[in-house]
Structure 1
């Protein structure tokens, strides 16, 4: 008998263990389905190991560093920052990531999800081959779910030597292989002088100067972090404003806040060329005014977007195709099902209107799992998914921008409430705003846009406002606590409802 290949079956095979993949697996298992989750790297994917979690841990450290300057300059607290212990900071970050990683693996084990390490590719519409497969049986995982032979008496683990495994999916296959940073020709990451968002946090030490290419959320966050850590930062964005997918007033307020912190924001600019030197990078940048500037920095960070990862999946074997940009577009967005019945897709493989955000991937995973289990599920409302940039100042938004609302044919009423118009905004002293976009004449709220400190924690209320199709008058009758930053949200809606108090 040839033991080099194991065949097996499962209700669902999920390829990719990032946020979209593991959320699909957990929900499907909770609904009683037998699930195989295949991951060639670490469960948790980019978000947990290279993106969301480690970057936000570092940004929290940056916020603490900024606190020293605010204490000294605004509040007369004669505190000084001696130094940043990079190794200690990294150790804390890695501990947070490790504990989250173990937690996710424990959840999967408890749910009975069969986690297989290896590279998977499609061999048919309902079949998958896993190369170099190794099964993980974390404590608590039931042995009867193990792929391959096991000892029913002793409960011994299957032999750990890598092998080829073929798995047939009775109900469906879920594609969740995620994305990677886009690169520019001639600017490949070396992990030291030229880095991407995936390896920027793991480059050695703190640079004294950084050029960030890309003014989307990722680029802005890294620019903010490095500035907090004392670096001279130049931020270059090809579009005419940073965070170009957000409302124009968000871009304006964020630009003002970043420049106030000493970040050189260059929108409408582009990189002409760059030369990697022994001790840094020399780049030429064409500004919005047509001037050519030479910028010499210790590190160049490329944050020009991300691209889907599909190579090696052999999508054609199942009859699945990609669009011109490499995304796997569903034929049915209500089920996130491709044109091939039973093959679904979640996460960064999806084109817009999916957002490439971890929390959107969670929602997509829930939807697909429930669809495969035959449970009625509500399609993801991408307009009601919050978008956050965790810089200083932060931005948070949900729903349509003013320009998008008008482009959709809405006549709108708009109200902008400065955060400094409420007492708690004055306390923080970082400026910012609340902008509400609603249908004219007291109609439905179409979008809410925030800039300022801690607005990432304030956007949940607005998610419900937009998601539940509320009117300004609906919000205005609810009392917000005083003094808080959230009070500015309440005040903005009071004004729109004709009951303005501090804003006339």
Structure 2
């Protein structure tokens, strides 16, 4: 006989487990199904452990540049195994935290591979056999996986996905990173700071292509200054793998193909949604290029089946999945949430320097018909940034000239991934330029640059 619930969540990433918690808070009897570890890719193999690695490389960078702070450090070095071990311990600690949250909220955890077998029915297969579950509502939150190159699949030895790059068997000496989105640039930054010679190949005409063009330009200069080779408008046509390395055939902007030898390759060319073999086809759930089609409340075209997170399309971000899950659960529980929208989802890249943004780029704002006012303020004009030894970067704000609406904000530099939330809140509250200009920012802080950028859009910058 099947175990019966009000809601079953298939997948326990940041969208899935948050959905389960919110459902339990609303009084729904809830189960969550997970085939690997609670917390999903983000917590175990993505957002969290990569930040642990990047923190290590940041500290190592400061140690190797201690003289700039009047300090002396002799012969700094690192133990790659211990670096990896710290990252895994961080992930393990948070995995245990999610287990605790499930227990606290009385969410039933079912371990195994889940598949929807009919309306309101789900079967879970594990080493101990099969379990039948039933529920009025089923949320699909199965996430996504790294996309392989068709001509060179990742082997974990010389060709890596992000998962391999987090537990490296050896330190790369010459590293090729294919793709310059957040994942590619973050790993490029980590391995470069740890001593690898890094080359980034991007098919489009600029790196971090979803960002504002000025951010991309600054990032290119910063990474080049750090010693990286940046190849844009280029593509990898072939990878020849040997025991001691990889030979890459790279077609450049000019159409010429060159071959270069690397010790390792990281493939960061996007993701594939995990929508296969979970019963969607038999139920007739509508998909678009593999992603499940949903409305603003996570509802699919099939009654009782919902979807959230990476399986529903971009932006592929943990915080998007969590909020999407909350909206979905509140709606199916009979509440009246606002439909989920992506207009105010911040994006962050935790490389060195960091990138953070929200809303429209300057170009997209103009394309949308806005007459804009743009403000920019450099880190070099901020006392706290100079005191920190982090004087490279800038903050850019884009306003509608007529209404004063903050259309977008774009940052590059130290700690901007923490600063961006100020602009996200401002946009959520529909704050105008006048209200931002009248807001008092503490001194000395990096956040003062946010104020100055707004002032700069209206010709009132005080410190530059």
How many aligned positions are there?
463
- CA–CA separation in structure 2 for the residues paired with 1:315 and 1:429: 50
1:210 maps onto 2:172 in alignment: no
Of 9, 18, 34, 2:4 maps to 9
Number of the residue aligned with 1:97: 91
Matches within 5 A, 1:187-266: 187-266=152-231
Superposed CA deviations along residues 142-185 of structure 1, whole A, max 9, x for unmatched, are: xxxxxxxxxxxxxxxxxxx7232222212x11001110000111
Q: By how many angstroms is 1:286 displaced?
A: 1.6
Superposed CA deviations along residues 397-452 of structure 1, whole A, max 9, x for unmatched, are: 01111111112211111112111122223333451110101101461000000000
Q: By how many angstroms is 1:32 displaced?
A: 0.5
Specify the SS of the correspondent of 1:288: coil
Number of the residue aligned with 2:457: 496
Contact 1:442 1:473 in 2 (8 A): no
Q: By how many angstroms is 1:82 displaced?
A: 2.8
Matches within 5 A, 1:4-83: 6-72=1-67, 74-83=68-77
Number of the residue aligned with 2:324: 364
Number of the residue aligned with 2:370: 410
- CA–CA separation in structure 2 for the residues paired with 1:351 and 1:47: 16
Of 290, 293, 300, 1:329 maps to 293
1:341 maps onto 2:303 in alignment: yes
1:373 maps onto 2:333 in alignment: yes
- CA–CA separation in structure 1 for the residues paired with 2:391 and 2:110: 48
Which deviates more, 185-194 or 492-501? Answer: 492-501
Which deviates more, 372-381 or 172-181? Answer: 372-381
- CA–CA separation in structure 2 for the residues paired with 1:177 and 1:13: 12
Superposed CA deviations along residues 274-306 of structure 1, whole A, max 9, x for unmatched, are: 100111111011222334332211101000011
Matches within 5 A, 1:464-483: 464-483=425-444
Specify the SS of the correspondent of 2:287: coil
- CA–CA separation in structure 2 for the residues paired with 1:294 and 1:457: 40
- CA–CA separation in structure 2 for the residues paired with 1:218 and 1:104: 24
- CA–CA separation in structure 2 for the residues paired with 1:429 and 1:101: 33
Number of the residue aligned with 2:135: 169
Contact 2:396 2:410 in 1 (8 A): yes
Number of the residue aligned with 2:404: 443
CA pair 347-81 structure 1, distance change in 2 beyond 3 A: farther
Superposed CA deviations along residues 375-398 of structure 1, whole A, max 9, x for unmatched, are: 121223312111000000000001
Which deviates more, 440-449 or 397-406? Answer: 440-449
Contact 2:376 2:456 in 1 (8 A): no
- CA–CA separation in structure 1 for the residues paired with 2:103 and 2:59: 36
Q: By how many angstroms is 1:202 displaced?
A: 1.4
- CA–CA separation in structure 1 for the residues paired with 2:159 and 2:182: 19
Superposed CA deviations along residues 20-51 of structure 1, whole A, max 9, x for unmatched, are: 11111111011110011111111111111111
Specify the SS of the correspondent of 1:338: coil
Superposed CA deviations along residues 354-380 of structure 1, whole A, max 9, x for unmatched, are: x11011111011111111211121223
Contact 1:215 1:236 in 2 (8 A): yes
- CA–CA separation in structure 2 for the residues paired with 1:471 and 1:498: 16
Of 347, 350, 353, 1:390 maps to 350
- Which runs of no fewer than 5 residues in structure 1 stay unpaired? 1-5, 133-160
Q: By how many angstroms is 1:463 displaced?
A: 0.7
Contact 1:236 1:265 in 2 (8 A): yes
- CA–CA separation in structure 1 for the residues paired with 2:169 and 2:420: 35
Which deviates more, 79-88 or 292-301? Answer: 79-88
Contact 1:473 1:493 in 2 (8 A): no
TM-score (normalised: structure 2): 0.97
Specify the SS of the correspondent of 1:483: coil
Q: By how many angstroms is 1:89 displaced?
A: 1.5
Q: By how many angstroms is 1:56 displaced?
A: 0.5
Q: By how many angstroms is 1:252 displaced?
A: 0.9
- CA–CA separation in structure 2 for the residues paired with 1:476 and 1:419: 19
Specify the SS of the correspondent of 1:384: coil
Contact 1:125 1:317 in 2 (8 A): no
Q: Answer with 1 or 2: which has the greater Rg.
A: 1
Specify the SS of the correspondent of 2:69: coil
Specify the SS of the correspondent of 1:241: coil
Number of the residue aligned with 1:424: 384
Number of the residue aligned with 1:147: none
Q: Runs ≥4 in structure 1, deviation > 4 angstroms?
A: none
Specify the SS of the correspondent of 2:111: strand
- CA–CA separation in structure 2 for the residues paired with 1:406 and 1:392: 29
- Which runs of no fewer than 5 residues in structure 2 stay unpaired? none
Of 236, 240, 245, 1:280 maps to 245
Contact 2:32 2:110 in 1 (8 A): yes
TM-score (normalised: structure 1): 0.89
